[in-house]
Homo-oligomer: A and B are copies of this chain.
Amino acid sequence: MGLEQEIKQDKFQNDQQKAAINILYTGSWLYNINAGFLKKFDITPEQFNVLRILRGSFPKPMMLAEISERMIDKSSNCTRLVEKLKHKGLVNRVTCADNRRQVDISITDKGQVLLKKIDAYQPSWIKTLGKITKAEAKELNRILDKLRSYPIATRISVKDRS
């Protein structure tokens, strides 16, 4: 079933506009699948994202700004997110000795164990992804990266200058 049937809209202005809606719609769909899956582990997608980021850096701790930079959804409030994770014992947070403005955050053993457990469950969205081929995934990645490439925002094109 295509996007038109799913949101019951039968005409888009053009393929690009349809693509925008499709990305938003598919993103929301994927997010919800993921959130539903992670709920079993009492963790949100944002928290999961942060934990994986910290695992990637382990054993080197990270500061909040670095974590924010790597997050999928940049707008999440990192301070409070990390606070939740600390409360669950999944991360450590200590004031950095060299620079007391920053805090060093690192994943705990308990956090590592949780991630392993989640990995082992073979999340349903991994299965979902199997529906597209490797070649399709590559092409999808290429197009999405192109879409986000830096806009030539306010620059006047050579043609228009005259």
Contact = CB atoms under 8 A, between A and B. Distances in A.
Interface residues of A, number: 65
A152 B140 contact: no
Interface of A: 1-3, 6-9, 14-33, 36, 53, 56, 69-75, 124-132, 134, 136-141, 143-152, 154-155
Copies in the complex: 2
Given A70-B9, A72-B24, A128 B140 contact: no
Contact of A132 (B24, B70, B146): B146
Contacts of A151: 127-128, 131
A131 B145 contact: no
- Please indicate which of the listed interface residues A22, A25, A36 has the most CB atoms of chain B within 10 Å of its own CB: A22
A117 B144 CA distance: 29
Contacts of A70: 7-9
Contacts of A139: 139, 143
Nearest to A71: B7
Contacts of A125: 20, 152
B18 A141 contact: yes
Contact of A36 (B145, B148, B155): B155
Given A16-B126, A27-B31, 16 more contacts: A1-B148, A7-B72, A9-B70, A16-B132, A20-B125, A22-B144, A23-B140, A24-B31, A24-B72, A26-B27, A28-B72, A28-B73, A28-B75, A29-B148, A36-B154, A127-B152
